[in-house]
Amino acid sequence: MKPAVPPANTAQAWQQLHEAACQPYRQAGRWAWHWARGKLARDPVFRGMLDRGDLPPKAHVLDIGCGQGLVASLLQACATLQAQGRWPAGWPRPSSASAYTGIELMPRDVARAIAALAHLPLQPRFVCADMCRAELPACDLVVILDVLHYVDHAAQLSVLDKVRRALSPHGRLLLRVGDAASQRGFAVSQWVDRVVTLTRGHRVPPTWGRPLHEWTVLLQGLGFAVRSIPQSQGTPFANVLLVADLARP
Ligand SMILES: C[S@@+](CC[C@H](N)C(=O)[O-])C[C@H]1O[C@@H](n2cnc3c(N)ncnc32)[C@H](O)[C@@H]1O
């Protein structure tokens, strides 16, 4: 068999990954498929993680507040691209998972995730649970994208402390939050969040934000070394991705 031709560049590879990561959602209904297409295309966080090499190879991934499991589908698509020898040289390192657990509060999202993704070779596991009460499995990468503001400040600290204990000594947390210090962007994020929550048929809960500085100090206090990556380019939001690494002996 002829070796597969590598994608010419990262833009082309991203196009292929987008297509592949959306495909499984066709069997979870039109809504799930359209949501995957729009979110993966418009939210800069997904491609950004590949551009920067934020996702370590062969990671044991825990995705908290995973929604319909877009990260799992993307990681499966990455694994397929690598197996075909088409990972582009322009990305710092291949991203992949050897295990994936998603924790999600909303049964409807969990049902969509299972319908779309349970059969994939990665065999992602989806647990319908409240992150504040759930036991977290041992892992080396935790992803929490736009979730922590749904619980109060004490609960945020308690979840982050559980995350630290679940992570391996050199584990990584990718935490996206809104920067409450950027009042306008944060207000827009909150407004969009409420509309989306309602559209998905959920009750709109109150939310608890923090300024970026406070998030950073909180994580440093738990023993993480923290880098912040702005996520608002091309959007009206005040989102920031915190790359938080443990370095325990
Ligand atoms: C804005 S969505 C983000 C979904 C996903 N992380 C993504 O980026 O596509 C926030 C998700 O967190 C979930 N969530 C909120 N509170 C939660 C809790 N206490 N435990 C688990 N999941 C929760 C919501 O149901 C929702 O699916």
The tens digit of pLDDT for each residue in 45-67 reads: 999 999 999 999 999 999 999 99
- Cα–Cα distance between 11 and 13 in angstroms, integer? 5
Compute φ and ψ for 91, nearest 5 degrees: -95, 140
Cα(8) to ligand 1 centroid in Å equals 35
What confidence tens digit (pLDDT) does each residue in 31-40 have? 999 999 999 9
Threshold 0.85, pTM exceeds: yes
Q: How far apart are the first and last CA of the chain?
A: 47
Q: How far is the CA of 86 from the centre of ligand 1 (A)?
A: 32
Give distance in angstroms: CA of 37 to centre of ligand 1.
Answer: 18
Helix, strand and coil content of the chain, in percent to the nearest 5, comes to 45, 20, 35
What letter does residue 124 receive in the DSSP assignment? -
The predicted pLDDT at position 203 comes to: 64
Which residues touch 229 (CB under 8 Å, ≥6 apart)? Answer: 48, 52, 240, 241, 242, 243
Q: What is the residue with the minimal CA distance to atom 13 of ligand 1? A: 65
**Minimal CA–CA distance to 84: which of 17, 15, 19, 26?**
17
Among 71, 109, 150, 241, which is best to mutate for testing ligand 1, by the most ligand atoms less than 8 A from CB?
A: 150
Cα-to-centroid distance, 2 and ligand 1 (Å): 43
Task: Tell me the H-state helices in the chain.
Answer: 10-22, 30-42, 44-52, 70-83, 107-117, 153-166, 183-199, 212-221
Ligand 1 site residues, Cβ closer than 6 angstroms: 39, 65-67, 70, 103-106, 109, 130-132, 145-147, 150-151
pLDDT for res 208: 87
Average pLDDT, the chain: 91
> Whose CA is closest to atom 8 on ligand 1?
145
Task: Tell me the residue type at 202.
Answer: H
Mean pLDDT within 134-148: 97
| Average pLDDT for 79-103 | 94
Q: Which protein residue has the closest C-alpha to ligand 1 atom 17?
A: 105
CA distances, 104 to each of 11, 27, 120, 121, 133 (Å)? 31, 20, 19, 21, 12
Going by the DSSP 8-state scheme, the letter that residue 7 receives in this structure is P
Locate the ligand 1 atom nearest the alpha carbon of residue 144 and give its number: 6
